[in-house]
Chains A and B, each alone.
Chain A
Amino acid sequence: MDAALATPFIKAFFDLLPQMGFQQVKRGNLRVSEKMAVSLDVIAVVGLSQQLRGNVAYAMSQDTAKKFASVMMMGMPVEQLDEMSQSAISEASNMLTANAAMTLESQGLSVNISPPTLVIGHGVKVRISQVQSLIVEIVTEAGVIDVILGLER
């Protein structure tokens, strides 16, 4: 996939996370992933249709997911990844992808997004695309989020 397509998805983190109360947002490593890869344990996947087709998945550890949800809920302690924190993670993935879709729209690529589906497991094997995918790490105070991108024009 075209690595330039990753930029709007990274930008979304810098646009939105400070508004959600995050102090630290950094871009980590970028790597090319096998089509089928073992992922971190909590994955929110959002589908894209129209001029850009594919999936974007936000993967993080259970620990990061709990801390991420806690920051989103104004620092409320999150002991378990319960319904409310699952909903928070899911909503964040929806907002991030919608933000990226608006950037893409302004670049002339019309994109629609599906509602997020959350997959929680341990040692989950994931294939989000029939092409090779890119993984961009986003480092926050809640931990590392792997943004897995499998997109085709």
Chain B
Amino acid sequence: MSANYLEHFAASMMQNLQEMASMESNASPPAPQETAFASQGFSVIIGITGKRPGRIILDMTQETANKLSEAINCEECEEEFVLDTLAELTNIVSGNGITTVNNANSGMGLMLTPPSIFIGNELTIVSPKLNAEVVAVTTPVGLINLSIGFEGGK
């Protein structure tokens, strides 16, 4: 698997923020992530199945989630609508990234599971046995951590 797969996801994230929310954003270089990390409060998780199972997490504050949803939808959003918006954004970014990884590595056959969302003040997220890396995406409405982990090796 290409070493810079995470950059495909980060590029897709920045492009979608530009297209959907007219937001300029910057992504940090990928950094290794600890098995357990503290959530900022609002986490969307999508599982990856196939030859290299793993998971994708978009993590931000509740405030960032609300403001991002407003920027995408141009209105004050009900909680349910914020959840739908962020689930869909994660779906799109993950779908783009996974397609690029599949195209570059024949026979990988990676598929995504539907998103699940976790909201809470002091959440710890643990992915035992995964090698994960994180990109910090700086946006006008706050920091979004994009974390991707795969089983076994990088």
Contact = CB atoms under 8 A, between A and B. Distances in A.
Asked whether A and B interact, the reply is yes
Interface of A: 35-36, 43, 45-50, 53-55, 57, 83, 86-87, 90-91, 112-130, 150, 152
B43 A129 contact: no
B117 interface: yes
A112 B114 CA distance: 12
> Lowest 4 CB-CB distances: which A-B pairs, in order?
A114-B47, A47-B113, A47-B47, A112-B49
A119 B117 contact: no
Interface of B: 35-36, 39, 43, 45-50, 53-55, 57, 79-80, 83-84, 87, 111-114, 116-130, 151
Nearest to A129: B114
B87 A45 contact: no
A-side binding surface: helix, strand, loop or mixed?
A: strand
Given A36-B80, A46-B47, A47-B49, A118 B118 contact: no
Contact of A45 (B39, B45, B48, B122): B45
A117 B55 contact: yes
Nearest to A50: B111
Nearest to A120: B124
Nearest to A84: B128
